Amino acid sequence: MFEKVLFPTDFSEYAQKTLECIGDIPGVKEVLLLHVVDTAHLLKKGFVQDLHIQDARIHLNEQKKHLENIGLKVKVKIEVITGGDVSHAIIEILNKEKTTLVVMGAHGKSLIEGILLGSVATDVLRYGNSHVLIMRHKFGERHGDKKYEKLSPNVFSKVLLPVDFSEPAMETISLVKDLKGVGKVVLVHVVDKGETQEEIDTCIKEAKKRLEDIAKDFRSEGIKVKIHALAGSPSESIISLAEEENVSIIIISTLGKGMFRELLLGGTARDVVRRTNRSVLAVRARKFK
Domain ranges of the chain: 4-150, 158-288
Which stretches of the chain are DSSP H helices? 13-19, 39-45, 49-68, 86-97, 119-127, 167-178, 197-220, 234-245, 267-275
Q: Is 233 exposed, middle or buried (0-12, 13-18, 19+ CB in 10 A)?
A: middle
CATH superfamily of 158-288: HUPs (3.40.50.620)
φ/ψ of 160, rounded to 5, equals -95, 125
Q: Are 154 and 24 in contact (CB under 8 A)?
A: yes
Which range in 42-46, 124-128, 257-261, 264-268 is most confidently predicted, on average pLDDT? 124-128
Phi and psi at residue 255, in whole multiples of 5°? -125, 150
11: left (phi over 0), alpha (psi -120 to 50) or beta: left
Contacts of residue 110, defined as CB under 8 A and 6 or more positions apart, other chains included, come to 118
Class of domain 4-150: alpha beta
> What is the model's pLDDT at position 107?
67
pLDDT tens track for 119-133: 888 888 888 888 999
Beta bridge partners of 280: 134, 250
pLDDT band per the 50, 70, 90 thresholds, residue 255: confident
- Determine the Cα–Cα distance for residues 64 and 73; give it in Å rounded to an integer: 9
What was the pLDDT predicted at 152?
46
Percent of the chain with pLDDT over 70: 82
Q: Indicate the pTM of the whole model.
A: 0.86
- Pick the residue with more confidence: 81 or 255? 81
Cross-strand bridge partners of residue 186: 160, 226
85 pLDDT higher than 90: no
Cβ-based neighbours of 30, under 8 Å, separated by 6 or more = 3, 4, 5, 72, 73, 74, 75
Q: Is 79 or 143 the better-scoring residue by pLDDT?
A: 79
d(CA 210, CA 59): 49
User: What is the average pLDDT across 173-200?
Assistant: 92
Total Cβ atoms within 10 A of residue 156? 21
State mean pLDDT over 24-29. 90
